[in-house]
Structure 1
Amino acid sequence: EEFEERVKGAKIEGAKRRAKLIILELSTGESLLIHLKLTGRLLYVEPREPLDAHTHIVFHLDDGHQLRLWDLRRFGYIKLVPSGRLEEMPELAEFGPEALEMTLGEFKNLLVTKKRGKVKPLLMEQKFISGLGNIYSDEVLHYAGVQPTRDVSTLMEQEKELIYEGIQTILPAALKHRGSSVDLYVDIYGRQGQYVPHLQVYGREGESCYRCGASIKRIRLGGRSAHFCPNCQR
């Protein structure tokens, strides 16, 4: 009831993202902090759309629509926090720089601080860089010709530059196509992302590499899957 009273009548004045968190800024001086985790969806729908058991929160908007938080596995969460203290929130304070906002020099400096560890798990570590997940770390490393199992300390300067270039090339392309719907992901209007046909290695185990024709491999690395071309990536 307290949550409902604090958001009732509030106007959404801004929407932004930090790493994997959605932030809706309210006119009350507070913000909604939303993490969709693995299976969550934030949907802008008409009231006539049927509710199901996986819809956990419904916001009624003054334009007649609803904003619904849907989550199959209930890993996601929503919090109401003071807008002026967002950066103090534990969820936000530990994030590294945004992948699309750092310079090449900043990226190289970050790599210097991480002299050990495999390159793919490092790229996925949100405390290191925010915004790269399992899909796009695979795609970036294929772009750069670097195997996911490579130790960070073995990367040559040109390889570091190609990884950075891959980040700056692939992420905007994926955003342009509204992301990759390889599982449950849809956008706020319920539309699937259209980037899957452009994926070079992710989800293509056993298929031929578009670049050289070799068979795409899949391994477990750091508790996650990693897809790569054993010929193109060294």
Structure 2
Amino acid sequence: MPELPEVETITKQLDKSVSGKKINEAEIFVPKIVKNSKKEFEKIIFDAKIKKIGRRAKLAIFELNNGWSLLIHLKLTGQLIFNGEKNKHTAVIFNFSDGTRLIFNDLRKFGYIKPIKTEDLNDFFEKEKIGPEPLSEKFALADFKNILQKRPKAKIKQFLMDPKSIAGIGNIYADEILFASKIHPLRRNQDLSTEEIKNIFKNIKKILAKAIELRGTSVENYVDAKGQKGEFEKKLKVYGREGEKCVKCGGEVKRIKIGGRSAHFCPSCQK
């Protein structure tokens, strides 16, 4: 699933290439992707201009000039490709007045497009109880400590992946953050020392920022808005490396299940 760095990469690229364009029509090939009737959706988007494109958590936000916004969630296998080619996994095509287009592909068809009044966006995210943005300047160490204290018995890996704790961190980056911080994924929040908490906080900021710089991680279907794979995969230390040698100590990278999700770690380096 595209996480914060992947969605941030796509929305930044699209904000440059798509903002200001007028939508002529949307070709809908997988109706369940759009959370409105086709007639309602077409009425909302027809002749609307895209004012700007942003992100909250793992959601892309397309703000239109008519008081509406489109929330787009890529879920497991979604792709948003500017001037891409239609294929058998194409769910929706946005055609613009200048002849360009935006392709929404989704192999598993779990993604969605949800129109919402722009003035209702804040209420929507409050209702969903989405946690703070980890790369925001407003998200400080004190905030992180406070959130940890509210869930003392939570395992740190599950905590990092919970969008109600912190927005946008999934399996890939939770594994990499904990490896960089030398923290075992089964550790409970209440058992973390002050120094360990500082390290986790520092590595959240550092690793997410680096992943954005390298346009995300393409371990499955992810490509950026130009159809290109991200390059952070080359930097992965533990995620997807079960059975391989640890890059630090030479020990074996292990994988365990925590709450139905995989966790990759080095038993020697992470305590």
Equivalent residue for 1:5? Answer: 43
- 1:91 deviates by 8.2
| Structure 1 runs, 4 residues or longer, greater than 4 Å off | none
Equivalent residue for 1:67? Answer: 102
Equivalent residue for 2:172? Answer: 135
Q: Whole-Å Cα distance in 2 between the matches of residues 85 and 2 of structure 1?
A: 18
Indicate which of 73, 78, 92 corresponds to 1:35: 73
Any gaps of 5 or more consecutive residues in structure 1?
none
2:56 aligned with 1:21 = no
Higher relative contact order (CA 8 A, sep 6+): 2
TM-score between both structures, scaled by the size of structure 2: 0.83
Cα RMSD for the two superposed structures: 1.3
Residue aligned with 2:82, SS: strand
2:209 aligned with 1:152 = no
CA contact (8 A) 1:11 1:26 kept: yes
Any gaps of 5 or more consecutive residues in structure 2?
1-38
CA contact (8 A) 1:217 1:230 kept: yes
Indicate which of 123, 145, 149 corresponds to 1:108: 145
Indicate which of 98, 101, 117 corresponds to 2:154: 117
For these two proteins, the number of residue pairs brought into alignment is 231
Equivalent residue for 2:227? Answer: 190
Cα separation, partners in 2 of 1:97 and 1:189, compared to 1, 3 Å: same
Residue aligned with 1:173, SS: helix
Equivalent residue for 1:171? Answer: 208
Equivalent residue for 2:16? Answer: none
Equivalent position amino acid for 2:194 in 1: E
**Map of 1:179-218 to 2, 5 A cutoff?**
179-218=216-255
Residue aligned with 1:89, SS: helix
TM-score between both structures, scaled by the size of structure 1: 0.95
Cα separation, partners in 2 of 1:20 and 1:154, compared to 1, 3 Å: same
CA-to-aligned-CA distance 1:55-104 (integer Å, 9 cap, x gap): 11111112321112111111111011100001222686410001112111
CA-to-aligned-CA distance 1:25-65 (integer Å, 9 cap, x gap): 0001100111110011111115xx3x223211111112321
Q: Whole-Å Cα distance in 2 between the matches of residues 92 and 159 of structure 1?
A: 32
Indicate which of 55, 74, 81 corresponds to 2:90: 55
- 1:209 deviates by 1.0
**Map of 1:69-84 to 2, 5 A cutoff?**
69-84=104-119
Q: Whole-Å Cα distance in 2 between the matches of residues 118 and 219 of structure 1?
A: 13
